[in-house]
Amino acid sequence: MDFSITRIARTVLHVTDLDVSRKYYVDGLGLIETESDENHIYLRGLEEHSHHSLVLKKGDKPVVEALGYKVDKEEDLEKLEELFKSEGLKTKWIPKGEQHAMGRALRVTDIHGIPLEFFAEMDTVERMLQRYDLYRGAKIQRIDHVNCAVPDVQKAYDFYVNKLGFRCSEYTDTSDGDLWAAWLYRKPTVHDQAFMSGPGPRLHHFAFSLTDRLSLLDCCDVLASMGYADSIERGPGRHGLSNAFFLYLRDPDGHRIELYTGDYLTIDSDMKPKRWDLDDPLRQTFWGHEAPDRWFNEASTFIDIETGKEIEYVEPKLTQRKPVIAN
């Protein structure tokens, strides 16, 4: 590749009430509020030195504006624009300064219409890693990954691996050989970007990394004491896929958040992806309990990078193709 995508770096969400969202994300989950204005709240984890990894933006409906990836250098942005244009996909430049604390950014739509954003520059701030007096809620450390539902996982896999330089850590396929889900990464952990088969494109969840399992339990106690017990959707538990300990939450607008800890390094170039059979009950939850139906059926919609209108999603179509899984 002529460019280098470093990692998933931020999520931009629209929420209907900033004060309600602030109480949930800051007082409940323990994110650090870097800055805010009448239309935005900029949040980050305790170990993050970037200005933010989550933007809550005042809107009429709870939708997803963009999934942001950091690149290694400015020149990578032009190369990415060239790639997406060559694939016949939408591109849009956002000049430096138009987004708070950001350098210029390239907004694009991927092969399924997911609005992605690439940038090289963001303001840096004080890292709160050793400000233990500020640790509260889940004691969130950093953004970890995003997971999207798409109608054709093989198509997404081919584009992200062959065109964008992602690698695969784990995947699920059916007895007929259809690729049902894939966990793809740029940073050396299990994933930055996951895809699962479902009506899409939609954002299933975005995830934050924690230091330990106890932080998940502490978060449950804090949320329950604040009256948010019904926002706990699934878990705590341990995934078979990724081996990580998890907790799934729904924020006041219904956006799904995963709190996540305990996966593994994927830095070795000779590491081969792990296959899971779709019928294996341990892949979802290593302890065996099933996820609620809404975990599969509900997700957040994306908006178009040009019109701002919600992107219509379509049902999945498994194609009986054998998945091509390679690093």
What confidence score (pLDDT) does residue 290 get? 81
What confidence score (pLDDT) does residue 175 get? 81
The amino acid occupying position 78 is E
What confidence score (pLDDT) does residue 281 get? 75
What confidence score (pLDDT) does residue 321 get? 43
What confidence score (pLDDT) does residue 325 get? 52
Q: Same domain, yes or no, for 58 and 158?
A: no
Which residues does the chain have with pLDDT short of 50?
319-324, 326-327
What confidence score (pLDDT) does residue 285 get? 81
What is the maximum span of the chain, computed from C-alpha positions, in angstroms?
54
State which residues form the domain around 76. Answer: 5-119
Q: Same domain, yes or no, for 175 and 239?
A: yes
* β-strand partners of 154: none
How long a stretch of residues is the chain?
327
Count of structural domains within the chain: 2
Burial 27-48 (b: 16+ CB within 10 A, else e): ebbbbbebeeeeebbbbbbbeb
Q: Write down the H helix ranges in 206-269.
A: 213-225
Give 270-327 pLDDT, tens digit per residue: 999 999 998 887 777 888 778 888 988 999 999 999 999 999 999 887 544 444 454 4
Q: Which of 119, 150, 183 marks a domain boundary?
A: 119
Gap between the Cα atoms of 54 and 33, Å rounded: 10
The CA–CA distances, whole Å, from 214 to 184, 229, 311 equal: 27, 17, 38
What confidence score (pLDDT) does residue 177 get? 84
* Token pair for 228: 């948010």
What confidence score (pLDDT) does residue 213 get? 95
Gap between the Cα atoms of 96 and 119, Å rounded: 10
Residue 325 lies in a domain: no
Residue 248 lies in a domain: yes
What confidence score (pLDDT) does residue 322 get? 45
Residue 52 lies in a domain: yes
